Structure 1
Amino acid sequence: MKKILYFMAGCIVFFASCKPDKGLVENTKYEKIAVGDPKYSYLKILNLSPNSPVVNFYLNGAKFSTKQSTTGIENAGYTYNQVFPDFGYAVATPGSQTLTGKVIPTATADPSLEVFSATINPAPGKYYTLVPSGLYDATTKKIPSFVTVEDTRPALDSTKIFIRLLNVISGGPSTTLIRGTTVADPKIISNVGVNTVSDWAEISSPGGGPTTTLGVLFIDAGTNTPIGSTVTFTGLTKGRAYTLYIRGIWGATGTNAPTLSFYTSFY
């Protein structure tokens, strides 16, 4: 079934009258957007800057990312390893634009400070993941780097899952992904350099029912040695495509240690 995206084009809500048989009338206009409609570009933002403050993102000065406030004042945003939107993509105008990140105004330190800026140029009808990255610099108060990933939809199949690998380890090596628990197990994706993404790989026998579990090990492609322990992803739905990404700082421990995570790219 063709999936449709919706966004609010305008909103007028009014009371018709005070008669008992009259209630709240909504006259909100929506536009149906077919997948890949070239009138728009489709964006996801993944904050992979370790130690990043909580920020919200703006396109040409207008707020783009959204997270519900609990106070009526903007007090929520996106920190390290958080993605907007959680599922799917947000609609944007194609062409050259400035993407910025600002600390939320209720933060104790540096409220409303701009800590990130990059120029993007999304093409009509295409999908992108925008990745602020690199260790947040507490002296300059800047997120130092940025990666743009074009998200090309694979030919989905309801009996399979599709994965790719994005490598954003600060200072790290090229990485290979293995399905299993040892370096002798089958390689799924090989030799993905830092700040690059692999092609899609299909898992044609994921097992289980509609959802499945996938255990993977990521290794240093140059030395053939594991980077961390086996990671098991549960609840993966067949017929969807997932981006696995390796993040963190090479050589770090704790919350900034190299780690593998994922988000849903297409469904």
Structure 2
Amino acid sequence: MKKNYIIILSVVALLFSSCEKNAVQVIDSLPNGPFVRGYNFAVNGPSVNFYVNDTKISATNSTTGIEATTGVAYAGIFPANNNYLSLSNTGSVVFKTIIPSKASANPGVVIATVPATIEAGKYYSLFTSGVYDATAKTTSGFILEDALPAPDTSVAYVRFVNTVPNATNGFDLKAVNTTILNQVVIAPVIAYKAASGFTKVPNGVYNLTSVSANVPANYTITRNTVSFSKGFVYTIASRGSVTVAGNLGLDLTRNR
């Protein structure tokens, strides 16, 4: 009995010590990537799931345990703002966008493949783009490294990505502060499937204008009252097609 009593006291002491307010949780390792987020910007395209090689890395919630009939819809991203997926893969991989296996139309069809070389500790954005070919059931896609700037709490950082396939010479991006009317050139003309670097933008609310460099016809995309908060990092992406009336737009996501 004496021995049992000593054991009980030892266990109780251990429990109390593990519940101290100042107890330190030791984390042996942190996720080190690569990190990726997916954008489904293929005009007229279906909802899709994103894969790296043959491993699905995005999905719509299901309450049945069976894959949902829908995935990431057009103009959607996965995961949400300020989030990335941490991958175990490094080196040469193939990213795929695939129609969900339970979809009512074209289940399991691979609509885009994007070969890439990815590195641990780096951040990437994967885009479907172009205009979806409903006959061939394909679209184009590309991947960009998100070379995030060093943390800076004095300003915001903004970059521009062009995913519009048929504005021949690309788009630029300018921002005008709605209070003091100062203009910031966020990006010069950026070609399709390319991105600018991250530009410093003072804290504030802005009206955005993106103009194509086509000759003789220019296309203009606007988005008003966009807030850029100091300390944060953002991506503005043009999306849509100049041949589809009314669907050009500027997408705003936060990287950090």
TM value normalised by structure 2: 0.78
Please point out which of 229, 238, 241 is paired with 1:246: 238
In 2: Cα distance, 1:185 partner to 1:130 partner: 30
Alignment of 1:52-67 (within 5 A): 52-67=45-60
Of 29, 32, 42, the residue aligned with 1:49 is 42
Distance (whole Å) between structure 1 residues aligned to residue 160 and residue 150 of structure 2: 17
Matching of residues 174-193 of structure 1 within 5 Å = 174-180=170-176, 186-193=184-191
Q: Could you tell me how far apart the structure 2 residues matched to 1:44 and 1:229 are? A: 24
Q: Percent identity?
A: 27
Identify if the C-alpha distance between structure 1 residues 128 and 233 changes in structure 2 by more than 3 Å, giving closer, same or farther.
farther
Q: Which amino acid aligns with 1:113?
A: V
Q: Does 1:258 align with 2:254?
A: no
Structure 2 counterpart of 1:11 = none
State the partner residue of 1:109: 105
Q: Following TM superposition, by how much is the alpha carbon of 1:151 offset from its aligned partner in structure 2, in angstroms?
A: 0.5
Q: Give the drift of 1:90.
A: 0.7
Distance of 1:109 and 1:225 partners within structure 2: 37
> Which residue of 117, 121, 125 maps to 1:125?
121
**Change in 2 beyond 3 A, CA 1:102/1:31:** farther
TM-score (norm 1): 0.75
Distance 1:199 1:179, change over 3 A: same
Q: Secondary structure of the residue that 2:253 maps to in structure 1?
A: strand
Give the number of equivalent residue pairs: 222
Inter-partner Cα distance in structure 2 for 1:194 and 1:95? 25
Which letter maps to 1:88? N
Partners of 1:174 and 1:220 within 8 A in 2: yes
TM superposition shift of 1:137: 0.7
Which one has a bigger Cα radius of gyration?
A: 2
Partner amino acid, structure 1, of 2:146: D
The amino acid across from 2:231 in the alignment is G
Tell me, in whole angstroms, the C-alpha distance in 1 between the residues paired with 2:77 and 2:161. Answer: 14
SS at the partner of 1:230? strand
Alpha-carbon RMSD across the aligned residues, in angstroms, is: 2.5
Q: Give 1:118 shift.
A: 2.5
In 2, the alpha carbon distance for the partners of 1:151 and 1:55 equals 22
For 2:30, the equivalent position in structure 1 comes to 33
Taking the aligned partners of 1:47 and 1:31, their CA distance within structure 2 comes to: 35
Give the conservation status (yes or no) of the 8 Å contact 1:190–1:221: no
Corresponding residue of 2:76 = 82
2:10 aligns to what? Answer: none
Cα drift, residue 140 of structure 1: 0.7
Letter in 2 for 1:231: R
Kindly indicate which of the two structures has a greater share of residues assigned to helix: 2
Match of 1:100 among 82, 87, 96: 96
CA distance in 1, matches of 2:98, 2:211: 35
C-alpha distance 179-60 of structure 1, shift in aligned 2 (>3 A): closer
Between 1:106-115 and 1:127-136, the stretch displaced more is: 106-115
Q: Residue 51 of structure 1: CA displacement?
A: 1.3
Any conservation in 2 of the 1:96–1:120 contact (CA below 8 Å)? yes
Q: Write out per-residue CA displacement over residues 41-96 of structure 1, whole angstroms, 9 at most, x where no aligned residue.
A: 11111111111111112222121113312443222311221111113211112111
1:166 pairs with 2:156: no
1:234-255: CA deviation from partner (whole Å, max 9, x where unpaired): 454321110100011123213x
Q: CA deviation at 1:203?
A: 0.8
